[in-house]
Amino acid sequence: MNNNQDVIVRGMAMDGKVRVFAALTTTIVEELRARHDTWPTATAALGRTITAGAMMGSMLKGQEKLTIQVRGDGPLGQIVVDANANGEVRGYVTEPHIDLPLNDKGKLDVAGAVGRDGLLYVTKDLGMKEPYRGTSPIVSGELAEDFTYYFSTSEQTPSAVALGVLVNPDYSVRAAGGFILQLLPGLSDSEITFIEQKLASLVPVTTLIEQGAGPEDILHQLFEAVQIYDRSPIQFSCTCSQDRVEKTLISLGKDEVDALINELGRAEVVCHFCNEKYILEQDELEQLRAKHFH
């Protein structure tokens, strides 16, 4: 098994009464950290949300996609993550340069960065006329609990969510991943208690990943028997392009394009999601104007 590849697994446990998802996201979270120059607390917040997004993306089909927005009252601003059914994710935080002192448990203070007050929004584009929109309040700011609450209230699916990001002293990402368990109807009280006890005694997912565990290994820590029915790679992917940037500039209108040509002599557009910089020099802007505005 290749441990340095980001992957997601989906399966069932407890005789088909628990739906399970587990993800390894170390490479993606490290790429986002490098692109956005996130500091440790921001890295952990973005990494946890990206991990949840990747798993929620794997619940979709075909061309379906979703966007998660975590808007808390902390210094991080908002976290935005896009994911789709093809294992592609991207994301950013408003303020990447946030690093708070460790919390009283000696851990990265994600709740302090996100804020404990605010809302979690999930918008799913399922190919219908109207997208599905779900909202739930932030209950802890640590994110795993916030997604757990979202699933139980917005999607009426009792769930358990674990998300973790371990950051090296040099700020790079050492381990990232998580799991989602969805409890289906038919579980007995004793089975639910068994799952709760397993969750309570489980070592942190990042510890398991750091020790070389893959997603299946994480699930086997929770359940003796797991039926894995899908294992697929996930990767960072952005949809920005020169073409999209040009469309954006055109949508601003002729006056804006004229102003860019006359005042700045160039246009510089930076993609929120991947920090890629697009520069259009004066002659390119003039070509755009000639082609689209008369």
CA neighbor of 25 nearest in space, from 206, 177, 210, 167:
177
Coil, helix or strand at residue 148: helix
Over the stretch 265-294, which tens digit does the pLDDT of each residue have?
Answer: 888 989 989 999 999 898 988 898 888 886
Over the stretch 156-177, which tens digit does the pLDDT of each residue have?
Answer: 999 999 999 999 999 999 999 9
Q: How far is CA 289 from CA 191, 245, 285, in A?
A: 66, 14, 6
Residue at 40: amino acid letter = P
For the beta carbon of residue 10, count every other beta carbon within 10 angstroms: 20
Over the stretch 47-67, which tens digit does the pLDDT of each residue have?
Answer: 999 999 999 999 999 999 999
219 or 263: which leads in pLDDT: 219
Q: Is the pLDDT of residue 2 over 80?
A: no
5 or 35: which leads in pLDDT: 35
The pLDDT score that the predictor gives to residue 179 is 97
Q: Which pLDDT band holds residue 252 (cuts at 50, 70, 90)?
A: confident
What mean pLDDT comes out for the span 5-20? 95
Q: What are phi and psi of 138, to 5 degrees?
A: -70, 125
Over the stretch 99-118, which tens digit does the pLDDT of each residue have?
Answer: 999 999 889 999 999 999 99
Over the stretch 75-102, which tens digit does the pLDDT of each residue have?
Answer: 999 999 999 999 999 999 999 999 999 9
Residue at 170: amino acid letter = D
Q: Is the pLDDT of residue 3 over 60?
A: no
